[in-house]
Structure formats: C-alpha cells, structure tokens
Amino acid sequence: MKLEPGKTALITGAAGGLGSALARALAARGCHLALVDIDQQALETLAAELRGPTLSVSCHTVDLRNRAAIQALAEDVRQQHSALHLLINNAGITLQKSVETHSEADWQRVFDLNFWGTVNSCKAFLPMLKTAGGAHIVNLSSMAACYGMPSQSSYSSSKAAVQAYSESLRAELRGQHIGVTCINPGAINTQMIQATLRESDDIAQAEANMALAQRFGIAPAKAAQKILAAVERNQAQRFIGVDARLYSLLSKLFPAAVSYALAKSYERVSGRNEALTDRP
C-alpha cells in the first residue's frame, strides 16, 4: 500500500519512542493520524506538534487491555475520520522477571496488552479497513519471539503469539486487499523498559539492559522508516536491526547453541545475585 497524503493511520502506543517516531514519519507523508495511548498529556503534546492546516490528528486515551474500551475507540475513530487505511499495533509492555517470580497477574497484564490488545484492535477496526479500498495492518512482535529469552518469558510468549496470529491474519485477509506485516525489532533506543523497571527481579541488571539498548539500539526514527517501507512493499515479516536478524538466523540454524548461550548468561546473572544475597 502506498502511504500518500490523505491516507489515515492509527497508531497504538503513540506517545512512546517508536510510536511517536511512526507518527512523525506518517505526518511527514501527509497522512492523517489517530493517536492512541494511555498517557493523555504526552498524546496531546505530540498532536500539537503534528497538526497542520491539511493534517487531521485525533487523540484517544485508552487502556488497550480493556476490550470494551477498544470497541468504543473504534466508534470514536469512525466518527472523527472518514476512513482508516493503516492500523499499527505498537503498544506493548515487558517484564524482566524469572519464570518462578512471574505471578499470574504478571502474565495476565502482559498478554492483555501485547496479545489481546492486538487481537481486539484488529477485530474492532477490520470493518473500517475493509471499506478503505486497500489497507494494511502492522503488528509489532519482537526478536524475542524467535527463541524465548530468560527473564522475559511472558514477553517472549506474547510476542510469539502475535507473530503466529499475524501469519494467520495475513492469509485470511489476502483476498480482501488488506496486507499484514509482522515486525520483529531488536533493541530500539527507547524507554520501554523504564515503565516496569522497578518490578524487575534484578533492577541493576535491568538498568544495564536498558543502557545497552540506548547505546546500541537502532534509533526510533530509523526503525519507523523501515517499518513504513515494509508496509509499502507488503512484506509479511521484517526484522529491524542487526541483532534481530542475527538472533533469528542463529535460532533457526543453531537452536541448541542459542539455548546454551542463554542458559549460561542467565546462570551468571542469577549466580551473581545469589552471591550478593548470601553476603553477611
């Protein structure tokens, strides 16, 4: 699908680093925007930056874990925009906790946003997309979907579910002029980890992981351009970043080696924590 002036795009998690980069990139192409996030103030600040004489930008403060709220959102967007051509399910959350310390509530919270938020949004907006005369859906998965990462079991699992769902959706919608692209990013220089940092088993390690992502992760603006290029090429899947492409390749060619490397890495971290705990 060609992203050209006059098209309308909806972005969830629009106030975050990648979401706001996508909004700016689409606004630069002349696309109208429906911005969705739970942070109302950040949304309004972004919308004020992007609005112009020929650009319609609406703000929608929604908790995407709530199915009824998503259904209400669809009606709100329908009233404010004449059409919807692009749906980007970008909102997500990660927890850095072991399988042992992951509570049922933790699993529920991660899946409610990462997986069910995506599924419910696709279902709610499908009627608008069908009448657009050519549309596209982008679902954000992760390189963590390729092989489950220690301390991120709920995140890896939810993103693997998003990937499988996207594959099914693409096959079903192919004959209806709606493309579906699953994006698997590696590290992106955003503040995503910050939201749940204090809930981590090892806050120091979580801070170190965030610092690495900020130092070596791809810039959000660059990631956004790659995502939009994938939309225009109607790619089924796109890995963003050298780390994502390498992780995907290694997990397919050498799964045992990847498993061993991840296990040894986790053992070093958990062993260090136990040693610190045991000190008098």
- pLDDT tens by residue, 126-137: 999 999 999 999
| CA proximity to 119, closest of 146, 93, 89 | 89
pLDDT level of residue 217 (50, 70, 90 thresholds): confident
How confident is the model over 80-98, as a mean pLDDT? 94
Domain count, the chain: 1
Asked whether residue 256 is assigned to any structural domain, the reply reads no
Domain with residue 229: its CATH number is: 3.40.50.720
At residue 267, the pLDDT reads 86
Nearest-angstrom CA–CA distance, 130 and 264: 48
At residue 265, the pLDDT reads 84
Asked whether residue 25 is assigned to any structural domain, the reply reads yes
pLDDT level of residue 274 (50, 70, 90 thresholds): very low
pLDDT tens digits, 167-215: 999 999 999 999 999 999 999 887 665 555 555 555 666 565 556 566 6
At residue 194, the pLDDT reads 55
Asked whether residue 1 is assigned to any structural domain, the reply reads no
Q: What is the Cα gyration radius of the chain?
A: 19
Asked whether residue 261 is assigned to any structural domain, the reply reads no
Place of tokens 């608008």: 128
Structure tokens at 63: 């908790």
At residue 155, the pLDDT reads 95
Asked whether residue 18 is assigned to any structural domain, the reply reads yes
Residue ranges making up the domain that contains 64:
8-249
Contact by Cβ (8 Å): 140, 92: yes
Mean of pLDDT over the chain: 90
| Share above pLDDT 90 across residues of the chain, in percent, rounded to a whole number | 79
Structure tokens at 6: 């006059």
At residue 96, the pLDDT reads 86
Nearest-angstrom CA–CA distance, 148 and 190: 21
Evaluate if residue 5 carries a pLDDT over 50. Answer: yes
How confident is the model over 250-258, as a mean pLDDT? 96
Half-sphere exposure (CA, 13 Å, Cβ side) for 256?
0
| Chain centre to alpha carbon of residue 91 | 5
Catalytic (active-site) positions: 155
Asked whether residue 257 is assigned to any structural domain, the reply reads no
Asked whether residue 276 is assigned to any structural domain, the reply reads no
How confident is the model over 12-29, as a mean pLDDT? 97
Q: Residue 142, by phi and psi: left (phi above 0), alpha (psi -120 to 50) or beta?
A: beta
- Of 1 and 192, more confident: 1
Half-sphere exposure (CA, 13 Å, Cβ side) for 88?
27
Nearest-angstrom CA–CA distance, 20 and 9: 13
At residue 163, the pLDDT reads 98
User: Looking at this protein, which amino acid is placed at residue 77?
Assistant: V
Nearest-angstrom CA–CA distance, 246 and 21: 24
What b-and-e string marks burial along 165-181, b requiring 16 or more CB atoms within 10 Å of the CB?
Answer: bbeebbeebeeeebbbb
At residue 200, the pLDDT reads 59
Evaluate if residue 277 carries a pLDDT over 50. Answer: no
How confident is the model over 10-39, as a mean pLDDT? 97
Asked whether residue 187 is assigned to any structural domain, the reply reads yes
How confident is the model over 64-91, as a mean pLDDT? 97
Nearest-angstrom CA–CA distance, 181 and 209: 27
Alpha helices (H) along 91-132 = 104-111, 117-130
N-to-C CA span, the chain = 63
At residue 278, the pLDDT reads 43
